[in-house]
Homo-oligomer: A and B are copies of this chain.
Amino acid sequence: MNPHYQNLIQRLEEISHLSGVMSTLGWDQEVMMPPGAADVRAKQIAALAGVIHERMTDPGLGDCLNELAVIGSADFAAAEQCNIREALRSYELEAKVPKRLVQELAELSSRGHGIWVAARQENKFADFAPVLQRFLHLRKEWAQYVLPDLDPYDANIDLFERGTTMSMIAPVFERLKAELIPLIQAIQNHADQPDTSFLQGRFALNKQEALARRISRDIGFDFEKGRMDVSVHPFCGGSHPTDVRITTRYSERNFIESLYAVIHETGHALYEQGRPYELGDLPVSESLTMGIHESQSLFWERMIAQSKPFCQHYFATIRAAFPENLQHVSADSFYRAINICKPDFIRVEADEVTYPLHVILRYEIERGLFDGSIPVDDLPLIWNELMRKYLGIDPPDDAHGVLQDSHWSSGAFGYFPSYTLGALYACQFYRTLLNEQPDTEQNVMKGNFVPVKNWLNEKIHRQGRLYTPQQLVERVTGEPLSSDYFIDYLKDKYRDIYQLA
């Protein structure tokens, strides 16, 4: 092996293992840590983050990458080229930013979160506005340092969805608006809404947990290489494909929320557990982007678990867990109930039809903030105006409006589009799966998820970072990302559920 490449591998694996430790700390903080340990945990995380940053910006790493650049890529296999390419990108992302800026971003991120929590609690956007203003300035500056050839907002998007720009997103989002706004209006105007009364009531927590574990295991979560616990917000964490940790929360009054959260997080987990770590704990075996990750969670949550065949397979099991609540309910009415479409204020609770409009609203606001057409102080006004325009509803206050998401409190601009790109990827992947394996719905109806999981493993998970998201979508589906599949899917499904013309 080339000694410079060997040097690189050693450095990258050390960084990967230390980052794995950091992930374990993060999981522990949300799931296990005693409340009194918050202060010392912040110090422990800062110490470890300092070490990782030191390793990632080590001049020795820079020298090694320079040596490898001189050699050129022809001598290296595809996986090795990927490791070199990814290492160079992350070295530049870390090393090109002046320390002063790194520190101010970290400091504002930590301070900003507290200010956001308080502002949301008190419904006072004005308290949060200066943080947002400062972040906007810093993230533009950051973009100038790391990706000077891109528009600053595109640079921020690139951090989460590599290679995706406003010029690609804009036509997709315009099309979604044109199609979804009338579809939602038609659904809203329809007299016959699904009955969801049986989803209210009391659902024993131990039954909920047993059901969630069973379904997560059925669809492929490997509990030998993972765990499932409880946290305030569901997430998928863990330190390695052999150590994947999902969480959910249970409410006695709503079992659908926690069950579908588990299925969503299981989708993320299957991606993590399916990564090709036999190639080493290296960039090539890592997951690709936020959008591709979200495509995997949404694939299982929406394409599979919100489908009719899935409801047909599991309804008897679910009814057996909650016989008093569901004794007079059919699989079909259960399917209709869990797919109810209803505009509401909170993005994370939105259904699959209205969700993209929550994202588009945020994208348009971020774009306007970056190009200067929207002043920070006008955000509550513009937010509420767009909510009326896109979803026909009026947020009662900023906590249910512009202050609802945490992303901006840590300066994460450009993240939101990934949610909807994920939904589009998921739909396009599912369409391809149906073409390649026409018995998929039959399999799901029988509870046989192995072919679906194997297909995702092979086509997506095991590709690691070999390709860009754009390349991956083309390789898997034979064409670039298209909004057609998503729009057709929603129209077909909701015309059927709501019996629209």
Query: Which A positions have Cβ atoms within 8 angstroms of B?
Result: 13-14, 17-18, 20-21, 24-25, 28, 32-37, 39-41, 43-44, 46-48, 50-51, 222-227, 239-240, 242-244, 281
| Docked complex Cα distance between A227 and B18 (Å) | 25
Contact (Cβ within 8 A) B47 A14? yes
Contact (Cβ within 8 A) A34 B242? yes
Contact (Cβ within 8 A) A25 B32? no
Contact (Cβ within 8 A) A24 B28? yes
| Docked complex Cα distance between A36 and B281 (Å) | 15
Contact (Cβ within 8 A) B242 A39? yes
Contact (Cβ within 8 A) B43 A17? yes
- Between A and B, 9 residue pairs with Cβ closer than 8 Å are A17-B48, A21-B21, A24-B24, A33-B243, A34-B223, A34-B243, A37-B239, A40-B243, A44-B240
Q: A17-B43, A18-B51, A51-B18 are in contact. Are A242 and B24 (CB under 8 A)?
A: no
Contact (Cβ within 8 A) B20 A242? no
Q: A25-B24, A48-B18, A281-B43 are in contact. Are A35 and B239 (CB under 8 A)?
A: no
Copies in the complex: 2
Top 10 closest A-B pairs, CB basis?
A: A37-B243, A36-B225, A17-B47, A40-B240, A36-B242, A36-B224, A37-B242, A17-B44, A20-B44, A17-B43
Q: Could you tell me the distance in whole angstroms from the C-beta of A423 to the nearest C-beta in chain B?
A: 30
- Knowing that A13-B43, A20-B40, A21-B44 are A-B contacts, what are 6 other residue pairs whose CB atoms are under 8 Å apart, sorted by A's residue number? A20-B44, A34-B242, A37-B240, A41-B243, A44-B240, A51-B51
Interface of A is mostly: helix
Q: Could you tell me the distance in whole angstroms from the C-beta of A235 to the nearest C-beta in chain B?
A: 16
Cβ 8 A contact of A47, one of B21, B32, B34, B46: B21
| B residues near A50, Cβ cutoff 8 Å | 14
Q: Could you tell me the distance in whole angstroms from the C-beta of A30 to the nearest C-beta in chain B?
A: 13
Contact (Cβ within 8 A) B34 A227? yes
| B residues near A20, Cβ cutoff 8 Å | 40, 44
| B residues near A17, Cβ cutoff 8 Å | 40, 43-44, 46-48
Q: Could you tell me the distance in whole angstroms from the C-beta of A297 to the nearest C-beta in chain B?
A: 20
| Docked complex Cα distance between A242 and B33 (Å) | 10
Residue of B at shortest CB range from A39? B242
| Docked complex Cα distance between A47 and B52 (Å) | 11
Cβ 8 A contact of A35, one of B28, B46, B224: B224
| Docked complex Cα distance between A242 and B24 (Å) | 18
| B residues near A223, Cβ cutoff 8 Å | 34
Residue of B at shortest CB range from A226? B34
| B residues near A14, Cβ cutoff 8 Å | 47, 50
Q: Could you tell me the distance in whole angstroms from the C-beta of A253 to the nearest C-beta in chain B?
A: 25
| B residues near A18, Cβ cutoff 8 Å | 44, 47-48, 51
| Docked complex Cα distance between A75 and B170 (Å) | 68
Q: A224-B35, A225-B34, A227-B34 are in contact. Are A239 and B21 (CB under 8 A)?
A: no
Contact (Cβ within 8 A) A25 B21? yes
Q: A21-B44, A47-B21 are in contact. Are A34 and B224 (CB under 8 A)?
A: yes
| Docked complex Cα distance between A223 and B36 (Å) | 9
